[in-house]
Amino acid sequence: MNTMQVELGDRSYPIYMGVGNLDKADLLIQHIKSKQVIIVTNETVAPLYLQQVSRHLQQFQVEVVILPDGEQYKTLSTVETVFTALLSKQFSRNATLIALGGGVVGDISGFAAACYQRGIPFIQIPTTLLAQVDSSVGGKTGVNHALGKNMIGAFYQPQCVIIDVNVLATLDDRQLAAGIAEVIKYGLIRDYDFFSWIEVNIDKILARDETALTYIIEQSCRNKAEVVAADERESGTRAILNLGHTFGHAIETGVGYGRYLHGEAVAIGTCQAADLSRRMGLLTDIDVERIETLLRKVGLPTEPPVDLSAEEFINLMAVDKKNVDGEIRLILLNKIGEASLPIGVERSVLLETLNHYGRTD
């Protein structure tokens, strides 16, 4: 097992990465300082891993909330169901919440933990690759609004993150690919060597080779932890983690939450950001081709949905946390392995990218 510390002063916490971590009772129990424990999971994950986790907790008063599965349930009203569960059992401010699931479960549960009695301790046990390499680390919690993705939330750090590589065995191919989109992102924004390694080893990753999966989780978490430690609340450099996300969020919101997995929308957005970087003279044609080829090999979509017009895109992109006074700002690539900070982009150039794909508007 490899342990990595996210360095955030008195909010620092460990990420445990390894094979079989769900079977290690102590790993979990040492972080629970209360009698009362609530596990929030979903209907897909519960049959697979709920018993494996809850059997460690027989000495506690354990409640379980099982949410429906899917991005379309990442709403304030789902968070309210978690509050109701906590209150109907009279759970105290020292109760511990365990988020057992993918990014949606983690984001909802983390936000519930941040807000219940103004904050209770919580633990992340991510069960998708995307949650393991990205959403469970760094304290971004929250939900969607019909008018914008992840627009409601809190920065709220967990007590620890417990990653078990074994759980990836039950992940369906589409979910695995979505996670790889965020893995590739780390290479693109700040780690050229990692990007090259992924290119070379992509077949092993897709074959779910345990060593390869462990390696991409470790490298991704290291990159994420370094960025978050440098800028917890995204006043500067943390924004680079948003490569492809302004386009991606616009797609998720525009076509309705749940049609694309988050990682799929990010893959498309990454291609659009790469194309825009090329038009701004930052990337070469070869760079863009390299990025698209890798994403296609993973089986990820690389073109935006035909039913989202350029005008709708721009309107949706106007709702983004990187914007200042309403001006659209994007993360681009200076080169493979180095992201730009958020920069404003001429509408005409943005339109060129949006109209570049097989769409007719």
Binding site for a copy of itself (CB under 8 A): 34-36, 76, 79-80, 83-84, 87-88, 90-95, 114-119, 140, 142, 145, 147-148, 151-155, 233-234, 318-319, 321-327
Question: In the complex, what is the shortest distance from the CB of residue 96 to a copy of itself, in angstroms, rounded to a whole number?
Answer: 11
329 is written with which tokens? 């700002």
- 261 versus 319: smaller Cβ distance to a copy of itself: 319
- 106 versus 153: smaller Cβ distance to a copy of itself: 153
* 245 carries an active-site annotation: yes
**Annotated catalytic residue, options 262, 279, 290, 322:** 262
Question: In the complex, what is the shortest distance from the CB of residue 111 to a copy of itself, in angstroms, rounded to a whole number?
Answer: 8
Question: In the complex, what is the shortest distance from the CB of residue 86 to a copy of itself, in angstroms, rounded to a whole number?
Answer: 8
**Annotated catalytic residue, options 31, 56, 74, 140:** 140
- Which bin fits 116, alpha (ψ -120 to 50), beta or left (φ > 0)? beta
Residues with Cβ within 8 Å of 325's Cβ and at least 6 positions away in sequence, in order, are: none
In whole angstroms, what is the distance from residue 210 CA to residue 204 CA? 9
- 122 versus 194: smaller Cβ distance to a copy of itself: 122
- 126 versus 153: smaller Cβ distance to a copy of itself: 153
* 338 carries an active-site annotation: no
**Annotated catalytic residue, options 245, 278, 322, 329:** 245
**Annotated catalytic residue, options 144, 150, 223, 242:** 242
**Annotated catalytic residue, options 232, 234, 252, 292:** 234
In whole angstroms, what is the distance from residue 78 CA to residue 144 CA? 11
* 118 carries an active-site annotation: yes
Contact 229, 312 (CB under 8 A): no
* 249 carries an active-site annotation: yes
* 232 carries an active-site annotation: no
At 277, which amino acid appears?
S
Question: In the complex, what is the shortest distance from the CB of residue 93 to a copy of itself, in angstroms, rounded to a whole number?
Answer: 5
Question: In the complex, what is the shortest distance from the CB of residue 39 to a copy of itself, in angstroms, rounded to a whole number?
Answer: 17
- 93 versus 174: smaller Cβ distance to a copy of itself: 93
Residues found in the chain: 361
* 63 carries an active-site annotation: no
Three-class DSSP category at 76: helix
* 315 carries an active-site annotation: no
Residues with Cβ within 8 Å of 211's Cβ and at least 6 positions away in sequence, in order, are: 204
Measured in whole angstroms, the distance separating CA 120 from the mean position of its chain's CA atoms is 22
- 87 versus 207: smaller Cβ distance to a copy of itself: 87
Torsions phi, psi for 112 (to 5 deg): -60, -45
Burial, 306: exposed, middle or buried (Cβ in 10 Å; 0-12, 13-18, 19+)?
exposed
Residue 210's H or E segment, with its range, is helix 210-230
Question: In the complex, what is the shortest distance from the CB of residue 156 to a copy of itself, in angstroms, rounded to a whole number?
Answer: 9
**Annotated catalytic residue, options 21, 42, 182, 218:** 182
Contact 263, 130 (CB under 8 A): yes
356 is written with which tokens? 């570049």
Burial, 241: exposed, middle or buried (Cβ in 10 Å; 0-12, 13-18, 19+)?
buried
Known catalytic residues are 118, 140, 182, 224, 234, 238, 242, 245, 249, 262
